[in-house]
């Protein structure tokens, strides 16, 4: 046995221990294979380092995305690549793909997807949410009924301000199924408080089968009791982009 053959395993073991200390499980997993590729001349030392780091980064990024998707409540993953634009010929594909660049998040804009059931509104909103998560943005997805129920519960418990701050933490808030289910009494006022708190401070995506610009529809949708409250909420929601 040569001195070289005795030294290499010892060095590899030491590298593994270092990787353990650095918490790099994927690099540990592929280290032996990578060393053999170096010995066969398939990789240079610098290429091997690059491969180890790339594999570890991929693992960590996939883990980050998985956790972020869970925290965003995006349990069903949708993508823009999986959306069949041919079924919605009136939809401007270029405008949707422009949204995927996520500049509307930087501008704290509100995006509305309006249309009857089954037209892909939720698919598009979730797909943009997934895109944002992959880009490192914080996202939260919720149906309107769940959102208002959470706000109402917080109000009863005296923690409404904290709950609104929680929903304002996210770069993008997706509110789905607006107008499908009735909200709790006083829900309109609670929704307005949240929209007002996020106004020009955080992006939102809203989906509905009804037009927000219609005063009567808006009153029915969120249960606003006063004309001033209805107008203020409508102004917040209408000063944005519709699809």
d(CA 63, CA 166): 23
Backbone angles phi, psi at 214, to 5 degrees: -85, 115
- Establish if 78 belongs to a structural domain: no
Pairing outcome for strands 110-114 and 139-143:
unpaired
227-238 and 187-198 helices, crossing angle to 10°: 40
Q: State the Cα–Cα distance between residues 178 and 5, nearest whole angstrom.
A: 68
Q: Is residue 76 part of a domain?
A: no
Determine the pLDDT at residue 217: 36
Domain stops at, among 71, 97, 126: 71
Nearest CA-CA partner of 122 in 92, 78, 167, 88: 78
Whole-number pLDDT of residue 126 = 96
Q: Which range marks the domain in which residue 129 is found?
A: 85-242
pLDDT value for 114: 83
Q: At what angle do helices 121-134 and 45-71 cross, to 10 degrees?
A: 140
Q: Are residues 7 and 102 in the same domain?
A: no
Q: Judge if 101 and 38 occupy the same domain.
A: no
Regarding whether 89 and 49 lie in a shared domain, the answer is no
52 and 152 belong to one structural domain: no
Residue 96 lies in a domain: yes
Q: Put residue 41 in one of left, alpha, beta given phi > 0 → left and psi -120 to 50 → alpha.
A: left
Number of structural domains the chain divides into: 2
Instruction: List alpha helices for 83-210, DSSP H.
Output: 93-99, 103-106, 121-134, 144-156, 160-168, 187-198
Does one domain contain both 235 and 171?
yes
Q: Is residue 67 part of a domain?
A: yes
Judge if 49 and 100 occupy the same domain.
no
pLDDT, averaged in runs of 10, over the chain (243 residues): 54 93 95 94 95 96 95 91 89 91 93 85 95 97 94 96 97 90 78 90 88 42 40 47 50
The reported pLDDT for the residue numbered 209 is: 79
Residue 164 shares a structural domain with residue 66:
no
Same domain, 27 and 140: no
Same domain for 12 and 100, yes or no, is no
Domain presence at residue 79: no
- Note whether residue 45 is domain-resident: yes
Find the CATH number of the domain harbouring 235.
3.40.50.300
């Amino acid at each position: 046995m040569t001195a070289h053959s005795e030294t290499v395993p010892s060095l590899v073991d030491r590298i593994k221990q270092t990787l353990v200390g650095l918490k790099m499980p994927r690099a540990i997993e592929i280290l032996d294979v990578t060393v053999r590729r170096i010995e066969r001349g398939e990789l240079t030392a610098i290429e091997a380092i690059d491969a180890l780091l790339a594999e570890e980064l991929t693992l960590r990024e996939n883990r980050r995305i998985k956790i972020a998707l869970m925290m965003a409540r995006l349990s069903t993953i949708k993508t823009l690549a999986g959306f069949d634009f041919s079924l919605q010929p009136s939809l401007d594909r270029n405008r949707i793909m422009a949204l995927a660049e996520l500049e509307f998040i930087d501008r704290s804009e509100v995006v509305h997807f309006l249309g009857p059931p089954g037209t892909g509104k939720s698919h598009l909103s979730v797909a943009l949410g997934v895109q944002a998560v992959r880009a490192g943005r914080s996202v939260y997805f919720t149906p309107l009924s769940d959102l208002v129920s959470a706000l109402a519960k917080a109000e009863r418990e005296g923690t409404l301000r904290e709950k609104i701050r929680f929903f304002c933490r996210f770069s993008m808030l997706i509110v789905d199924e607006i107008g499908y289910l009735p909200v709790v009494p006083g829900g309109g006022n609670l929704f307005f408080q949240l929209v007002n708190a996020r106004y020009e401070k955080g992006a939102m995506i809203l989906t509905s089968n009804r037009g927000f610009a219609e005063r009567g529809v808006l009153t029915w949708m969120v249960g606003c009791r006063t004309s001033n409250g209805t107008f203020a909420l409508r102004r917040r929601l209408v000063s944005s982009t519709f699809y």
